[in-house]
Amino acid sequence: MISVVLALIAAAGYGVSDFFGGIAARRVTALRVVVVSYPWSVLLVLLIAPLVGGHPDTASMLWGLAAGVASGLAVWWFYAALADGPMAVVSPVTAVLVAGIPVIAGFFLGERPGPAAIAGIALALVAVVLVSREAPDETTEEIIGGRQLRFSRRVALLTVGSGAAFGFAFFFLHETDPAAGLWPLLGQRGAATAVVWICALAAGQFAGLHGEPLRLALWIGVLDVIANAALLYAFHGAMLSVVSVIGSLYPAATVLLAMVLLGERISRTQKFGLVLALAAVAMIAAG
């Protein structure tokens, strides 16, 4: 039960972080936001990890580095897919891969959740797709200048690559040793920072922030550390398949905040997805 709560905290942290990132990205590019938030999260882990304790071993640090490279590539490919592809397709496909790959990995690791948990996992996979779906609106059409977005072969590869990379990042964190404490997160955040910095330099978007975007980027860094730390501890107390699926429900928090704080209208499909997400968590917890 504690692991389920931690996984929910992780999902909420990721969701709120994405919400802040969405607000900041309306003023500057998303890459410029993570160029600041990622190294800030490294500093935060450096401050917190010694207080938590733990003895980092080589294997756990390598798993952390692998998770960082995977998550950094996932962010890079996800933004690239959204730049040329329809969000209503890219987002849900990515989401189901993020949730589904760890479930498959857990099965091969010998995990066998109970019947209620299995039903909850299946329901959560449906929920994350529904919540992630966004229909193109007039604002989107204005931003892209009337350009028709297609789910081309390149966009499909970027989408699948992003979802798979996120999913494997979850798996890599799961493989760390509980005795290592939060030290694997230092490797994760450091490697992810290196990847997004290289991406930003290549795209000519390596620049600082100021004002509201800077404040939001700092909050994003804090939330990322909280979410990743909660997820790490959840992995050490429960099955990979269960924790990953709950953690992948983060779009629900983003949608709820957009609806409540920004007054954005959400579709009936998304509302139904939110209800399914709640039911899925209850079933997983009961299982």
| Residue 207 domain flag | yes
Report how far residue 104's alpha carbon sits from residue 129's, in angstroms, rounded to the nearest whole number.
17
State how far the Cα of 28 lies from the Cα of 31, in Å rounded to an integer. 8
Whole-Å CA distances, 191 to 42, 70, 183, 185, 197: 10, 9, 13, 10, 10
d(CA 74, CA 61): 20
Query: Would 141 be classed as within a structural domain?
Result: no
The identity of residue 274, as a single letter, is L
Instruction: Give pLDDT, residue 134.
Output: 61
How confident is the model at residue 148, as a pLDDT?
A: 57
Cα–Cα distance measured from residue 21 to residue 14, given in angstroms and rounded to the nearest whole number:
10
* pTM listed for this prediction: 0.86
Tell me the residue range of the domain where 54 lies. 1-135+148-286
Whether 44 is covered by a domain: the verdict is yes
In a domain, 23, yes or no: yes
pLDDT at 172: 95
Q: What is the pLDDT along the chain (287 residues), one digit of tens a residue?
A: 788 899 999 999 988 988 888 788 778 888 888 999 999 999 999 999 999 989 999 999 999 999 999 999 988 888 778 777 776 677 778 888 888 898 889 888 888 888 888 898 899 888 888 887 765 444 444 444 445 567 788 888 998 999 899 999 999 999 999 999 999 999 999 999 999 999 899 888 888 888 999 999 999 999 999 999 999 999 999 899 899 999 888 888 888 888 888 787 778 888 898 899 889 888 887 76
Is the separation of the CB atoms in 190 and 14 below 8 Å? no
In angstroms, the CA 168 to CA 98 distance is 8
pLDDT of residue 145: 47
Rounded to whole angstroms, the Cα distance separating 177 from 159 reads 31
Domain membership of residue 212 (yes or no) is yes
Asked if residue 50 is part of any domain, the answer here is: yes
Is 142 contained in some domain?
Answer: no
Q: Is residue 140 included in any domain, yes or no? A: no
Domain count within the chain: 1
C-beta pairs of 263-270 under 8 Å, 24+ apart in sequence: 267/133, 267/134, 267/135, 269/130, 269/133, 270/130, 270/131, 270/133, 270/134
